[in-house]
Amino acid sequence: MNVDIKSLRVYIPGRGYVNIQATPHFNILSLNSRDEYRIYLEKNFPHCDVESEISSFLKIRDKIENNPNQVLVLLQYSRDGINILDGIHRTAILANMGVENIRGYLKFE
């Protein structure tokens, strides 16, 4: 199914569900600032190698920019909208590129 990226919601610890444009994942790309994403990682994933995670994210961006039509995400309906279960980074990258719709699989429980 194709879904409007702006309608998707993402769970961010400490903030609840937000639109992809309001995430540290989107802001590292749109603002070209690693600070918010670094703080997010340090707070929520204290045992991860922050610089390695940032580097991996930017490598994913480079791959997606070369082939944005191959991106798929896992989605789930909720009472309040459609949530991204898997694919936050991919969705943030496409949103930053100005892509309006994303292909996703819908998970039913």
Q: What's the gap between Cα 36 and its chain centre?
A: 14
36 neighbors 23 (Cβ within 8 angstroms): no
Q: What is the count of structural domains for the chain?
A: 1
96 neighbors 29 (Cβ within 8 angstroms): yes
100 neighbors 5 (Cβ within 8 angstroms): yes
Residue 32: pLDDT band (50, 70, 90) is confident
What span, in angstroms and rounded, lies between the C-alpha atoms of 55 and 9? 24
Q: How many CA atoms lie within 13 A of 83 on its CB side?
A: 14
Q: What is the pTM of this model?
A: 0.91
| pLDDT tens by residue, 50-79 | 999 999 999 999 999 998 889 999 999 988
Q: Which domain holds residue 56?
A: 2-106
What span, in angstroms and rounded, lies between the C-alpha atoms of 3 and 45? 29
Residue 6 DSSP class: G
Instruction: Please name the amino acid found at residue 76.
Output: Q
